[in-house]
Chain A
């Protein structure tokens, strides 16, 4: 508790003690003394509310809750209900105190969960002594030292040392990762075993850890529809309750007076004042953003970064999950598994292909270069022409070499030999003559099958896979994993088209999520209702394009993310219905004289306490 909260706590305790003592004293025959005595706890607990109420009136804010509380309590005292007048003020303050304590506590909880901000970086001075400096001041290319047990403060490349890294704060993955000389390491990881010397490749502000913190902190600023609904509701609710209170105080007494049955002004004014006690919408207004904040915090602790409350809401309604195959459901690590030649020797074919593709960064190209195994002399390659979705045409030692899929071959009026095995086939034509193919396969991720099953269990209607691969290979993978629909032979643009078709055919309240690895699929990520990028650690483009970022590349996290969002949204709805329901019930009962100010106090403060406690539940995402 901070100073302000402690002060309020003391005032609450003092006022409560005084109120109880005075209520027990036999003062019935001394009305004036009783009145004066009760003013002591009233002002002790309520002076700041009264001052704020006065300021509210001066600023022409009639529906300011301080003003409403002031009217309700002054009214109750005027009616001779001293205990209730003091009690309303007392419980209002207890509610405010609880709220500010709970919110402060969850703010701290969530920042503890995201406790990945490094405080310093060790820089080696000229005399070999280590100096701790602010990470913000470290320039790109500086050599920093990370001792065992310390966080890596800035992204960089290991230049000396060998260690294991704990990445759990970033990915939720508890198995440590190995890192050695030449490896890229990411800020926020904890160095477990060995001393590392790291050459920084980014400034602190551009490092992974800063990016993640910024993303999570700003996430709750993108408001969801529930939040928009509640703030609109709050704007209407308070004036509506106040006007009904006014009507309740005036209309029934006038009517009964006209019917000459006696006005009973006191009874109706008491009921009207009770209305004012429940007129503050704080319970609902606080619990909704708090639920989202806790949900986003819990998700980031599990390695799922959600970029906004609105995305959490959309995610909870996802019915279709569209996957990109490579790198998402499969490892994305390609290996040459077969070579078939028409004329040349195996090595020659591989050499031509590896050289022609040596300028490309595509995983397939890399695997060719890797299988070739010898250093690539790129000066032998000229006139490189990359044809998106088809392949590469280049000159190797002056000879024209074309590497790519069947489409490329048919474009060149060549007949490619069919290949029945699963995988990606690179056909090679040398000097305009078809020369054979190289088969490259990609392995499924060990968790892919379980991930699809988990999605089915979470009530996802359809799982769909998009791939640039051939039909045979794609269908084999899909059947193996249990995916409902496959669209194969797609160019990158075709993926967007296919997603648009799917978006057009789904129901109005059903959402479509696209899951990709962030390489080449940024347009699809942003086109889908929800774009989920996985294994995005260190890939800025993916973090930029996606709405939800899975820090590691385990597809099981998709179902987990959906479950987290559903839990959070369920809590939000529980709170909305519960809080509004109790308040309305209280209003109706009060209007008919079936409730009193004590019930109204519960409807105001009790409901808020329960709603806040319920909201905090969203933080716990362990067993989802």
Chain B
């Protein structure tokens, strides 16, 4: 399953860091952060529930870049 989320982040490198953090989260198969359109496209593992995975993704992103937001 693939879902797109709106995000807010200030710098391009921070967006890359978010991408790495999101990809390392359990339940995420592949995450892509598009800094230019401020979107995060997340492909979930089979059986993973976005409702439980996404707060984890957000927490991991906050760890690498405090000043970021994912609009769930």
Contacts and interface: CB of A to CB of B under 8 A. Distances in A.
Contact of A221 (B32, B64, B65, B67): B32
Interface SS of B by simple majority: mixed
A234 B64 contact: no
A223 interface: yes
Contact of B16 (A59, A106, A285): A285
A235 B17 CA distance: 9
Contact of A280 (B13, B19, B32, B41): B13
Contacts of B16: 231, 234-235, 285
Contacts of A64: 64-65
B13 A234 contact: yes
Contact of A223 (B13, B32, B67): B32
Contact of B36 (A59, A96, A220, A282): A220
Contacts of B11: 65, 96, 99-100, 282, 285-286
Q: How many of chain A's residues touch chain B, expressed as a range?
A: 20 to 34
Contacts of A103: 35-36
A499 to B, nearest CB: 29
Interface residues of B, number: 20
B34 A220 contact: yes
A285 B12 contact: yes
Interface string B31-48: 010111101010000000
Interface string B12-35: 110010011000000000001011
Contacts, number: 67
Contacts of B32: 221, 223
Q: Is the interface of A mostly helix, strand, loop or mixed?
A: helix
A404 interface: no
A100 B64 contact: no
B24 to A, nearest CB: 13
A223 B66 CA distance: 25
A52 interface: yes
A104 to B, nearest CB: 10
Given A59-B64, A59-B66, A282 B13 contact: yes
A289 B36 contact: yes
B48 to A, nearest CB: 20
Interface of A: 52, 55-56, 59, 61, 64-65, 96, 99-100, 103, 106-107, 217-218, 220-221, 223, 231, 234-235, 280-282, 285-286, 289-290, 293
